[in-house]
């Protein structure tokens, strides 16, 4: 699914951003204790504020987005810090979008809503006891022009998991930006 807008919308947004990465997601920082040492797949990574956070903590990161402008910025930030990252330009709205992606210890989906078909495939890309972290605007968020109803993460999104994941934490937050949810799953 396209989140908030199409590739053109996002490319333009990233071209207009200042030359500094944003700070990492607070929900990630607060919950880093759940992550397994090793590798991270950052899906819909944008220009990589969270990828940079993981690189600095010694994880190997593969970062995926459909915006080449976002990935170009991420590569620039990473080079400046003397790290390296594997970036892949993939449109996550197509079925089997992860077919060429290998297996990771952790998968992060932050402020993006993955389609049910691709969520169903997530378990095939996680190692044993691998962690899936999903965070973003949740079902009680009041939609406005920017965040659309179809962008909201709903509890039923995860029905596709059946018995393959254990929910190890669920957090709700509300502030002046809206209603946020964080789901942390461990692969069984
Ligand atoms: C709100 S940003 C979140 C970026 C990053 N995860 C973060 O937390 O800063 C949403 C991201 O989803 C990407 N995106 C939207 N639709 C997509 C699609 N169909 N395939 C891949 N990436 C997509 C956008 O390019 C953008 O980088």
Interval 85-125: pLDDT, tens:
999 999 999 999 999 999 999 999 999 999 999 999 999 99
HSE-up of residue 64 (Cα within 13 Å, Cβ side): 20
| C-beta 49 within 6 A of ligand 1 | yes
pLDDT tens string 64-94? 999 999 999 999 999 999 999 999 999 999 9
| For ligand 1, atom 12: residue with the closest CA | 44
Architecture of the domain spanning 7-187: 3-Layer(aba) Sandwich (3.40)
CA 123 to ligand 1 centroid distance, Å: 21
User: In DSSP terms, which residues pair with 62 in a beta bridge?
Assistant: 41, 86
For atom 26 of ligand 1, which residue has the closest CA? 46
Q: What are phi and psi of 66, to 5 degrees?
A: -90, -10
CA distance 146 to 23: 21
Q: Which residue, judged by its Cα, is nearest atom 27 of ligand 1? A: 46
Give the start-to-end residue ranges of the domains of the chain.
7-187
Q: What pTM did the predictor assign?
A: 0.97
**Ligand 1 centroid, distance to 53 Cα (angstroms):** 17
């Amino acid at each position: 699914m396209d989140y908030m807008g199409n590739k053109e919308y996002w490319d333009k947004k990233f071209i207009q951003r200042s030359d500094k990465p944003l700070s990492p997601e607070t929900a990630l920082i607060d919950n880093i204790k759940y992550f397994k040492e090793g590798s991270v797949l950052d899906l819909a990574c944008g220009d990589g504020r969270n990828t940079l956070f993981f690189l600095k903590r010694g994880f190997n990161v593969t970062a995926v987005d459909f915006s080449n402008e976002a990935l170009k910025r991420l590569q620039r930030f990473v080079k400046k810090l003397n790290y390296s990252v594997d970036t892949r330009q993939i449109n996550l709205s197509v079925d089997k979008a992860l077919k060429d992606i290998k297996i990771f210890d952790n998968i992060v989906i932050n402020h993006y809503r993955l389609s049910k078909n691709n969520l169903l495939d997530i378990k095939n890309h996680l190692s044993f006891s691998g962690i899936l972290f999903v965070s973003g605007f949740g079902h009680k968020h009041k939609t406005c022009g920017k965040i659309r109803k179809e962008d909201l993460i709903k509890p039923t999104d995860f029905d596709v998991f059946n018995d393959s994941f254990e929910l190890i934490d669920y957090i709700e937050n509300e502030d002046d930006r809206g209603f946020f949810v964080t789901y942390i799953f461990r692969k069984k």
